[in-house]
Amino acid sequence: MQSNNKDGAFKFLLGLGETLAERLPSPVVIKQQMLDLSQPGNSIHQIRENRFLYHFAIRHISAQMQTVTGIGQAEARKALLCEYHAKASDIASGNALRRSGYPFGKAVGLDVEQTMQGWTVENKSAYPFNQAYPDLGIRSPFPYKIVFDAKYFDNNSSASAEKALVEGVYEAAHYRSLPKVTSRSTSDPGWDYEFGCLLAYDASDAGVLETAWTSVRKKSAFWEGGNIFVMIIRGRG
């Protein structure tokens, strides 16, 4: 059953990547559209990953979910969680946040001193320590429980691409590894994900993020070993 579930999740994510590549604008077009959206008054989203996710990707994700047997519009809406769900209430039902804290955060490369400082300083925040706020989550009644880290990359530097790839995969793996938290109410999403996905649009001129991923030779450590799917998209629409 676990193998079949993992095979099904892989097939879904593979199909989602193909759909997004086919339907999203080309790198040249999306860069201009993203620039236009960054101008005052053109988008409620200040963070560019959110502009990419909500203006370009999220409705295609919802539609792709509905290609899975037993998943219609109502089921897809109940399963889909995102931070700005109130702005997409017809396709999403809540926030994907994790209620509990955790000893480690999503940042790559914190040293021992920084980690100890985080552990020992008084917590004056009303929120749990290292609370997780992923970009997107898909839960039951969808058959595959997947947490997403969404990125938009338009830098032409190969070094920047490698950094973005490592940080994106690390974040997706961090979210996927967090222990289950049982839901306490109908408004509490809980936390229970089997698979993680880095969903990244590569808008660089030469596709340097895609090249960075292509150069990785130990890909079996990602999906086979870690339940992490890397989806690098360059639109053709």
Global pTM reads: 0.94
Domain assignment present for residue 113? The answer is: no
Would you state the pLDDT for residue 1? 41
Which structural domain, as residue segments, surrounds residue 201? 2-107+127-233
Let me know if residue 114 belongs to a domain: no
Q: How far is CA 12 from CA 65, 166, 209, 224, in A?
A: 8, 23, 22, 16
Beta bridge partners of 200: 151, 232
pLDDT of residue 110: 86
Q: Please say whether the beta carbons of 203 and 153 come within 8 A.
A: yes
- Residue showing tokens 């998943």: 71
User: Which residues, given as ranges, of the chain have pLDDT below 70?
Assistant: 1-3
Residue 120 within any structural domain of the chain = no
pLDDT value for 155 = 96
Residue 187's pLDDT is what?
A: 74
Instruction: Dump pLDDT digits (tens) for 176-217.
Output: 999 999 988 777 889 999 999 999 999 999 999 999 999 999
pLDDT score for 2: 52
**CA atoms of 84 and 26, how far apart (whole Å):** 25
Is 115 domain-assigned? no
| Residue 190, Cβ density class (10 Å: 0-12 exposed, 13-18 middle, ≥19 buried) | middle
Asked whether residue 222 is assigned to any structural domain, the reply reads: yes
Judge whether 20 lies within some domain: yes
Asked if the structure places residue 135 within a domain, the reply is yes
- Total tally of structural domains belonging to the chain: 1
Residue 172 near residue 222, CB atoms below 8 Å: no
How far is it, in rounded angstroms, from Cα 50 to Cα 46? Answer: 7
Task: Tell me, yes or no, whether 221 lies in a domain.
Answer: yes
